[in-house]
Amino acid sequence: METVLHLISGDGDEQETTLNIARNLLDDESGSIDEVAVVAQAGGIEAVTADGEYGDRVRSLLDDGVSFKGCSNTLEAFGLEEADLVDGVETVPEGAVEVTRLQDEGYAYMRP
Amino acid sequence: METVLHLISGDGDEQETTLNIARNLLDDESGSIDEVAVVAQAGGIEAVTADGEYGDRVRSLLDDGVSFKGCSNTLEAFGLEEADLVDGVETVPEGAVEVTRLQDEGYAYMRP
Amino acid sequence: METVLHLISGDGDEQETTLNIARNLLDDESGSIDEVAVVAQAGGIEAVTADGEYGDRVRSLLDDGVSFKGCSNTLEAFGLEEADLVDGVETVPEGAVEVTRLQDEGYAYMRP
């Protein structure tokens, strides 16, 4: 099974819960989770910036196979560039389209 | 593909993000999004009232093809009537049933 | 149709909305909702504790056929035990895996 986490909130607690859940899905002992994707947009984009509070945790999740996608519309709105994101975070034109596409492919959705 | 946005929060930032995402889905240049629906209930109902802060933006999204559904259970709980909503916002008996129905039809779900 | 509600927020208003929606889904007169599940994790776990503010409402929903699952990872992180939860709330190793599994089975997802 596959899961997409929507990292859309600017709230630090909700961002932290999202990253915790990504880790718990990776660590799941039942082995039923094959893919974990995180789509960051709106206030959630800050959580995937290289200099942000959660930069190291995002790097660790990337290393362990979680895919991260940042929303280009959000980058533009926030005056950020792709280079401001943690290395390995891909960009997509619009996060909500990516979330739709992943669900269409069969991913379960979660918004912590 | 089709997307339903759940406008359920009374938080102004979350309401605004929901309307921004509806617009971004409409504007998506890949042309992969065929339908965008917004289901408003609980605190989110205020965002679709005619006199609310976002009335004009809701009107603009309606004009451009987004469908809006307001929850009748919420209207009753908030002492509102259908006439208090932006013209063109339809009502459904219970928003959560409508969100379930749309996902059952294949819509992707998002809760900004 | 079947619906899973994600009780993941520590915010009291969001917890209350989640329980209201569970009730409204049960009461739906169209009869289109066959199953309602609530998965409690992270800050949402407090809403399903026996001594919590919403204990009686959770008991009433359980009596009326809603299933509740509490996340064991969260219990451990919060220093809680299964015995601290309302009688009848089951536990699952990881709430997010359960939410994924239910969507994979065809449940619609909602995060109030």
Tens digit of each residue's pLDDT (9 = 90 or more) over A17-45: 999 999 999 999 889 999 999 999 999 99
Q: pLDDT of A65-103, one tens digit each? A: 999 999 999 999 999 999 999 999 999 999 999 999 999
| Substitution target from C99, C100, C102 for chain A, most A beta carbons within 10 A | C100
Residue for token pair 């959000």:
A74
Rounded to two decimals, the ipTM of the complex is: 0.96
- Interchain CB distance below 8 Å, C1 and B101: yes
Confidence at residue B94, expressed as pLDDT on a 0 to 100 scale: 97
Report d(CA A69, CA B109) in Å as an integer.
18
Helix (H, G, I), strand (E, B) or coil at C106: coil
- Interchain CB distance below 8 Å, A25 and C73: no
pTM, 2 dp: 0.97
For the beta sheet containing A108-110, the strands, ordered from the edge strand earlier in sequence to the opposite edge, are: A90-92, A67-71, A35-40, A2-7, A108-110
Confidence at residue A29, expressed as pLDDT on a 0 to 100 scale: 87
Residue for token pair 């199953």:
C35
Q: pLDDT of C27-41, one tens digit each? A: 998 999 999 999 999
Q: pLDDT of A49-71, one tens digit each? A: 999 999 999 999 999 999 999 99
Task: Name every residue whose Cβ is closer than 8 Å to that of residue C103 and which is 6 or more positions away in sequence.
Answer: A108, A109, C4, C109
Provide the token pair at C58: 């959770």
For the domain with range B2-110, which CATH number is right: 3.20.20.80, 3.40.1260.10, 3.30.420.40, 3.90.79.10?
3.40.1260.10
Confidence at residue C13, expressed as pLDDT on a 0 to 100 scale: 95
Nearest CB among B3, B13, B29 relative to A96 is that of B3
Name chain A's partners: 3 or more CB pairs within 8 A. B, C
Provide the token pair at A94: 């619009």
Any idea where the domains of chain C sit in the sequence?
2-110
Residue for token pair 């617009």:
B23
Residue for token pair 């995060």:
C111
Chain B with chain C: Cβ pairs closer than 8 A? 52
Which chain B residues touch C24 with a CB distance below 8 Å? 73, 94, 96-97
- Average pLDDT along chain C: 97
Q: Chain B contact for C25, CB < 8 A?
A: yes
Name chain B's partners: 3 or more CB pairs within 8 A. A, C
Please report the sign of the dihedral spanned by the C-alpha atoms of residue C98, residue B71, residue B57, residue B43: negative
Confidence at residue A54, expressed as pLDDT on a 0 to 100 scale: 98
Residues in chain B predicted with pLDDT less than 70, given as ranges, are none
Which chain C residues touch A4 with a CB distance below 8 Å? none
